[in-house]
Chains A and B, each alone.
Chain A
Amino acid sequence: MDKLVIAGQEFESRLFIGTGKYASNAIMAQSIEASGTQMVTVALRRVDIDNPNDNLLAAIDRKKYLLLPNTSGARDAAEAVRLARLARAATGIAWVKLEVTPDPYYLLPDGEETLKATAELVKEGFIVLPYINADPILAKKLQDIGTATVMPLAAPIGSNKGIKTRDAIEIIIEQATVPVVVDAGLGAPSHAAEAMEMGADAVLVNTAIAAAADPIAMASAFKLAVAAGRLAYQSGLAAQSHRASASSPLTGFLRSE
Chain B
Amino acid sequence: MTSAPAALSVENLCVEFRTRSGIVRALDKVSFSVAKGETVALVGESGSGKSVTAYAVMGILDPAGRVTGGRAMLGGLDLLSANQSQLAKVRGRKMAMIFQSPRTALNPIRQVGRQIADVLIRHGDVTRKAAPAAAIEMLRAVGITDPVRRAKTYPFEMSGGMCQRVMIAIALAAKPSLLIADEPTTGLDVTTQAVIMDLISDLAEKLGMATIFITHDLALAGQRAARIVVMHAGHVVEAAPTRELCANARHPYTAELIAATPDSATSLDALASIPGSLPDLRRTDLPPCRYSERCPRKTERCAQPLPVGPPDAAHTIACWNPLPARAIGAPKVNAA
Q: State yes or no: do A and B come from one complex.
A: no
- Chain B residues within 8 Å of A, Cβ to Cβ: none
